A and B are shown apart, each in its own frame.
Chain A
Amino acid sequence: MHLTLEFAGGAELLFGKQKNHSIDLPDNNSSWTIRTLLVWIRENLLRERPELFIQGDSVRPGILVLINDIDWELLDGLNYQLKSNDNILFVSTLHGG
């Protein structure tokens, strides 16, 4: 499944300073959710300091998640089922990224 991930507000510093990532998730039997995407990100994209991005099974509080420019709180949050070509934006509103 193809997705575009964007990181902003300082979050990009944890991903090689790259703001845009075009990724392809392997197809598996169960569909992808934000929760499983975060696990994938942690294992495949996060270059350093995972605790600055992920807390528990969610993102660190202070990081806003937008799915196709819509607040993830309106879309089931961690349980949102990803669709092909979704755009997920992670903006850090914390100081110092």
Chain B
Amino acid sequence: MCQVNEEDDEIFQALKSTINKTPTNRKCMSCDEDACVIVRIADPMCRKCFEEFFIHKFRSTLSKSNIFGRGEHVLIAYSGGPSSTALLHLIAEGLSVNARRRLQFQAHVAFIDESSLYPDAIDIREKVIDRITNQLHYPLHIVSIDDNLDNDNTLKKLLFQQTKSLTAREELIRRRKLKLLFDIAIREKCTKLITGDNCTKLAAQILSDMAQGKGAHVALECNLTDTTNDLVTIVRPFREIMSKEIAMYNRLNSIESLQNIDISTMSGIQSSIFKLSETLVNDLQRQFPSTVSTIFRTSDKLEKNLKSERCDLCCYPLDLDEDQSLLSDQDRIKLIHQLFDTRSDSNDPVHVCYACRRLLRDVQPNLQSNQE
């Protein structure tokens, strides 16, 4: 039956030897220089070859299938974190006059100021302005995460008093940020939105989404070009680059990220579904270096037949029928209109996908209902 006799099983032995292999060969795999980093499974690379490898992966991803039109207005989503900072750096190089096969689009940068939610994030706005406007000279669009809300406390109250779990808070913030980014892109007539999502993070996101009922969308979320929104296409040039590679590249080029704080900073490793899956992915990746790429390539194939209408909360296509996706709770409808719908009439019906419906259960639409 299904019994693995470890000594006899050749495949098991081969697998074990791959795991335990310590790279005794410290020379770069391409040239004969001393290696400084291990990428992919166990490939040692010297600094020069690593940088070429990194930049090549980025550029070839971007120039595949002619994603950008000449002079197209493109919005870069900048969070201040290591991935988006590396992204900016690479795009700036690609746009510079001396670049080989120079990039031909017009860059705009968007930054969503979340400092009202995290008291520790001091001066971030000034630092971003300094970097983007003064150093790089790209048009910068800063929007507060409380933008267009009644007052600065609405979102804070929603997240910290009316939302039960850290998972729900993370997910609400994620959806709100995407909505704001789309709004900026549309307003500035940018037809593309570039994000710095890297492979490792996407793998964790995929598992986390599946755990929350958002499995219908995972294939879309790991696409290079994501046409979920009719007007703005999301582009993810780092989708095949690991977080370790980005950290290494930043270090070798003294690229400093501006901030690393978000809603789950300093919270425990099991405090939210995303943190759990991120921990899982990183733990596995340490012993089995093909974990991330396997998750990724598998999800790419999990296409699902989706409706043409979009979820009003997460912007992705609905996975439920129209009558099943229609929200009937008046309070929650009002909430969605307030936070996620900047343009339509507040009497319009609201449709949500399965995952967003579950998410809303963790949110109390107004405080009065707690008194019952």
Give the B-binding residues of A (Cβ under 8 A): 8-10, 13, 49, 51-52, 60-62, 64, 66, 69-71, 73-74, 76-77, 89, 91-97
> Could you list 10 further interchain pairs (A-B, Cβ under 8 angstroms) beyond the known A64-B248, A74-B26, A77-B22?
A52-B269, A61-B285, A70-B37, A71-B38, A71-B248, A74-B44, A91-B247, A94-B278, A96-B262, A96-B265
Give the A-binding residues of B (Cβ under 8 A): 22-23, 26, 35-38, 44, 82, 200-201, 243-244, 246-248, 251-252, 257, 260-269, 274-275, 278-279, 282-283, 285-286
Query: A97 touching B261 by the CB < 8 A rule?
Result: yes
Chain A residues within an 8 Å CB radius of B285:
61
Q: Give the distance in Å from the alpha carbon of A60 to the alpha carbon of B283 in the complex.
A: 8
Query: A71 touching B37 by the CB < 8 A rule?
Result: yes
Query: A9 touching B82 by the CB < 8 A rule?
Result: yes
Q: Which 3 residue pairs of A and B lie closest in terms of their CB atoms, listed nearest first? A: A10-B260, A62-B282, A93-B243
Query: B278 touching A64 by the CB < 8 A rule?
Result: no
Chain B residues within an 8 Å CB radius of A61:
279, 282-283, 285-286
Shortest C-beta distance, A53 to chain B (Å), equals 11
> Given that A73-B23, A74-B44 are contacting pairs, would A97 and B266 also be in contact in the complex, using a CB cutoff of 8 Å?
yes
Query: A69 touching B246 by the CB < 8 A rule?
Result: no
How many contacting A-B pairs (Cβ < 8 A)? Answer: 90
Query: B261 touching A96 by the CB < 8 A rule?
Result: yes
Chain B residues within an 8 Å CB radius of A93:
82, 200, 243-244, 246-247, 282
Query: B267 touching A96 by the CB < 8 A rule?
Result: yes
Shortest C-beta distance, B279 to chain A (Å), equals 8
Chain B residues within an 8 Å CB radius of A94:
278, 282
Query: A95 touching B274 by the CB < 8 A rule?
Result: yes
Query: B265 touching A10 by the CB < 8 A rule?
Result: yes
> For residue B272, which residue of chain A has the nearest CB?
A96
Q: Give the distance in Å from the alpha carbon of A61 to the alpha carbon of B292 in the complex.
A: 13
Query: A95 touching B266 by the CB < 8 A rule?
Result: no
Query: A51 touching B268 by the CB < 8 A rule?
Result: yes
Chosen A-B contacts, 15 in total, with CB atoms closer than 8 Å, are: A10-B260, A51-B268, A52-B268, A62-B282, A66-B251, A69-B36, A70-B37, A73-B23, A74-B35, A76-B22, A89-B251, A95-B275, A95-B278, A97-B265, A97-B266
Query: B283 touching A13 by the CB < 8 A rule?
Result: no
Query: A64 touching B244 by the CB < 8 A rule?
Result: yes
> For residue B256, which residue of chain A has the nearest CB?
A8
